[in-house]
Amino acid sequence: MADLPGLGEFQPPSAAGRAAGAVGYVLTLAVAAGLERMQFKLRATESARWWASNGRDAINAFATLAMAAGLSAMGFSLPLAFLLAAVLMLGLSLVQTGLERHRHAGMLSVAAALLFGSPVLLFPASIQEGCRRLLEALF
């Protein structure tokens, strides 16, 4: 098993800082879900334009970076905050394909984002340690 010291440790901020980070993270989850819906609408309306694909990529990159910032503010090390944000964004993208034609896609998208993102709020240190162990076992 490799030792990856660059992953850092979970460093919870003060109670007020943790609460602020958690609120920021929940907001970024909701914004990410909204941006995912926007991305799918852009694909549907502008599929013939070359910039539509680039626009979707920019939206996904912005949402991933915003979510990583929220996770970092909660106390996650930056590398794992980015990893978790990327995994959550990929999961949200997969969910969006199933919601594409649903009447309440926007509301369901936000609910799915909050559901998938809630373990990070409830068990942040365990999530960081689990990611660390998984990456150490893989690399």
pLDDT for res 85: 92
Contacts of 120 (CB under 8 A, 6+ apart): 25, 71, 74, 84, 127
Q: Where do the structural domains in the chain lie, given as residue ranges?
A: 13-138
pLDDT for res 87: 92
CA separation for the pair 97, 102 (Å, rounded): 10
CA separation for the pair 125, 29 (Å, rounded): 19
E strand or H helix that includes residue 13? none
pLDDT along the chain (139 residues), means of 10: 62 77 84 77 63 72 87 86 90 78 77 88 86 81
pLDDT for res 46: 63
pLDDT for res 113: 85
